[in-house]
Amino acid sequence: MLRLLKLSLIIIGVLGKPSNEKCKLTDKPCMLKLVNTLYTSLFSVSGDLDPMNVDVIEGIFPTLKYNATDTHIKGLKNCQIVELSFDLDKHVLDETFMCPHLEWDGKYEMTGTLNGASMEGTGTYSQSASNYGFRFHATTDLQTRDGKTFISFKDVKVVVDPQEMVVTEINSNGDKKKAKEMLRLFSENWKENIKALHGPLMTAYVNEIAKVANEFYQHNTLEDYVIL
């Protein structure tokens, strides 16, 4: 409880008190500006969001399985929400993000095939990308207490859409032949492979941001920011 109260007070300090000029739900420019302000503020509250560490991320596909461990991502705080779609009655929220630059690193263990090519091995990886896009989808849960509306997010899913090649470096535990083969696959089919492999990674990272947002909205209502 003390952590939640502290989080709420810090965010209010970052954002200031809710403005009297609240957004109408139908005012898309106002809503887009608002959600970007709220998103950016989360990184001022928690130093764990950028750079971010997630210990274990698992990716399971029909022909491939991987475990990424000791993973890191840097640059999420500079992303912007460029498209926003929501329906409070249907409990859905969709946001499209564009990130000027992101960096990833960690350890991997991978077995199986992807798009018909072998993706076997263990080792370390590092990646970087400019103009990296992703779409955030979540189910919204609305609860009413004392006449006020509280929102939270669950069932988070992320679909990535990189606009430029993701630069990849791999150390396959000294197996240069195996590392070279994997790098060739990332080079020849980079967008298709990144879309597949980064789905579980980015979903895990964005889930951490959603957790912080959910804590904030335990103490701040929709009525603080929008006209319902």
What's the pLDDT tens digit per position in 131-163? 999 999 999 999 999 999 999 999 999 999 999
What's the pLDDT tens digit per position in 8-48? 444 444 444 455 578 999 999 999 999 999 999 899 878 89
User: What CATH fold (topology level) applies to the domain 2-222?
Assistant: Bactericidal permeability-increasing protein; domain 1 (3.15.10)
- State how far the Cα of 194 lies from the Cα of 165, in Å rounded to an integer: 9
> 141 near 91, Cβ under 8 Å?
yes
With tokens 């461990």, the residue in question is 69
**Among 7-11, 121-125, 126-130, which stretch is predicted with the lowest mean pLDDT?**
7-11
Answering whether pTM is above 0.85, one says yes
Cis peptide before 51 (omega within 30 of 0): yes
The domain ranges of the chain are: 2-222
What's the pLDDT tens digit per position in 42-96? 998 788 999 999 999 999 999 999 999 999 999 999 999 999 999 988 999 999 9
107, 111, 113, 118 alpha-carbon torsion, rounded to 10°? 80
Residue 126 has pLDDT above 70, yes or no: yes
**pLDDT for the residue 3:** 47
Question: What is the crossing angle of helices 176-188 and 190-216, to 10°?
Answer: 80
